[in-house]
Amino acid sequence: MSFSVFQQLNDSSVIISALKTFLISKDKTMQQIVSYYPALRSKNEKGKEVVEYSNKYWVMLSEQEVEELYPVKDSRKEEMKWRSWADDWLVHLISPNVYRSPGEALASFDYIVREGKFGTVEGFFAKYVGAAAMFIIGKRLKSRHNLQDDVRQDLYRAVNDWVAAIGKERKFMGGGKPNLADLAVYGVLRVMEGLQAFDDMMDNTKVKAWYQRMETATQRHEGRK
């Protein structure tokens, strides 16, 4: 496989879709699968090149494979919709919440330094310089994405929208087992573990039961096959 093929796989959602396709469609090579997600290059209003991928949320399957993986009507569309939502909205709520105030930004970097096992000098600079920088960036992201003054409210609403979409009859959006949308949302929320924003989310939304089920499912390597 050439290096150029690997270069196309620099988007996490594309990687997940391609891997899922590869695991199900045994008759396709990874090189074939990658070709299903062509990169579309363009320039934004600032003249910077941006790359998008066609079909990034599609798992490329035969009709029979689709029926086996998505037995419930419209479940495939639902999975793609919420994967896109995780990328286009939910992920942008994380930094403004984690670095909401100077104190939270400092606490977040204190956690990062401890977990990262920095040296004394490196840890000091990483903690204080990093916290100051990310507090400023968090404010800019808040403005860019038109978030409320209390950014927690945007996070709470988003998470509760997700729980409402799953409903009371399903354990996961994938039904009895997580699908790719479950994994996408879980992956975004998990980065806040150990921080005040995560604790506040658990205390003020309805996501806790689903999140705990996801923890158990990922530890057991469960998932829709």
Q: Supply the pLDDT for residue 41.
A: 86
Q: How many CB atoms lie within 10 A of CB 73?
A: 8
Q: Supply the pLDDT for residue 123.
A: 65
According to DSSP, the β-strands at 39-43 and 49-53 are antiparallel
Residues 6 or more apart whose CB falls under 8 angstroms from that of 148 comprise 154
Beta strand extents in 45-161 (DSSP E only): 49-53
Q: Supply the pLDDT for residue 3.
A: 41
Paired strand residues for 172: 175
Rounded CA separation 62/224 (Å): 16
Helices 12-24 and 180-190: angle between axes, nearest 10 degrees: 140
What is the Cα gyration radius of the chain? 20
Q: How far apart are the first and last CA of the chain?
A: 26
Rounded CA separation 70/5 (Å): 29
Q: Supply the pLDDT for residue 1.
A: 41
| Regions of the chain where pLDDT drops below 50 | 1-8
Q: Is 170 helix (H, G, I), strand (E, B) or coil?
A: coil
Q: Is 201 helix (H, G, I), strand (E, B) or coil?
A: helix
φ and ψ at 14, to 5 degrees? -65, -45
Q: Is 41 helix (H, G, I), strand (E, B) or coil?
A: strand
Q: Supply the pLDDT for residue 7.
A: 45
Q: Supply the pLDDT for residue 223.
A: 59
DSSP code for 53: E
Q: Are 39 and 10 a contacting pair, CB within 8 Å?
A: no
Q: How many CB atoms lie within 10 A of CB 213?
A: 17
pLDDT digits (tens, 9 = 90+) for 128-152: 666 677 767 778 878 877 888 899 9
Q: Supply the pLDDT for residue 193.
A: 92
Rounded CA separation 47/44 (Å): 5
Pair of tokens at residue 44: 């934004």
